[in-house]
Amino acid sequence: MRVATWNVNSVTARLPRLLAWLESAKPDVVCLQELKCATEAFPPEVRDLGFEVAAYGLGRWNGVAVLSRVGLEDVRRGLVDEPTYDDAAEPRAVGATCGGVRVWSVYVPNGREPGHPHYAYKLRWLEALRATAVAESAPERPFAVLGDFNIAPADDDVWDISLFTESTHVTEPERAALAALREAGLRDVVPRALKYDKPYTYWDYRQLAFPNNHGMRIDLVYANASFADAVNDAYVDREARKGKGPSDHAPVVVDLTL
């Protein structure tokens, strides 16, 4: 089974690239983030390629989806006791069982800056993610949370950590939230790099960040033992970040032998 995660930064704007990638990469399950479209507006062309779709979006911002060619069951939108921001629930998490594998596509809040209300919301949201993982991860069933975590797990996951000392994505409380997921029995499935020695997944559009490989590893796969032990390859598909009009993220692809 081939499972992938990709922050597409607008499924509508990126649709031609997404369709081409689905046909060339041939994933069985795909977790998408930052759809920027309402649930009912998810492009039907994806279903035309043989995928069932569990989308969750409200329109302009956020939005997540699970695409599957191996079945789509037990769809759940939203986390256990998920917090709100400005009294509104944001579409940031959707779970589904695909071919016996339970996956969650997540788009973790950015946090904006330490001390901002959105940062506190991010930490509460991560607590809800951990509670969901604890509730759903069973030893006998492969389980993984995939998506844009907006957290770099370690200093090596940022191209120049000195530039982020006052920023989100690398603070101790955010990394502690990832540690809590590991303590709950999930592993960080680290992909291999296809060109450089660092498997970054995100590069800013500005200042030639991508050709200079000034990136971050913030698109993550956190999996239980049943999933992680079945991994025979994992890589960042940098080719999908190239060319005209790409997302600022690249897909992370994980191959499983189940």
Nearest to 178 by CA among 216, 236, 218: 218
Q: What is the mean pLDDT of residues 117-144?
A: 96
What pLDDT does 49 receive? Answer: 98
Q: What tens digit of pLDDT does each residue of 238-257 get?
A: 999 999 999 999 999 999 99
Residue 150 among known ligand-binding residues: yes
* Catalytic center residues: 107, 148, 249
CB 104 within 8 A of CB 94: yes
Task: Let me know the angle formed at the C-alpha of 244 by 170 and 91, rounded to the nearest 5 degrees.
Answer: 50
Structure tokens at 247: 């997302």
CATH code of the region 2-256:
3.60.10.10
What pLDDT does 141 receive? Answer: 96
Segments making up each domain of the chain, as ranges: 2-256
Is the confidence at residue 166, as pLDDT, over 90? no
Is the confidence at residue 174, as pLDDT, over 90? yes
Residue 118 among known ligand-binding residues: no
Q: Give the separation between CA 24 and CA 64, rounded to whole angstroms.
A: 22
Q: Give the separation between CA 227 and CA 249, rounded to whole angstroms.
A: 24
Residue 148 among known ligand-binding residues: yes
* Mean pLDDT over each residue of the chain, to the nearest integer: 96
Q: Give the separation between CA 197 and CA 12, rounded to whole angstroms.
A: 32
Residue 9 among known ligand-binding residues: no
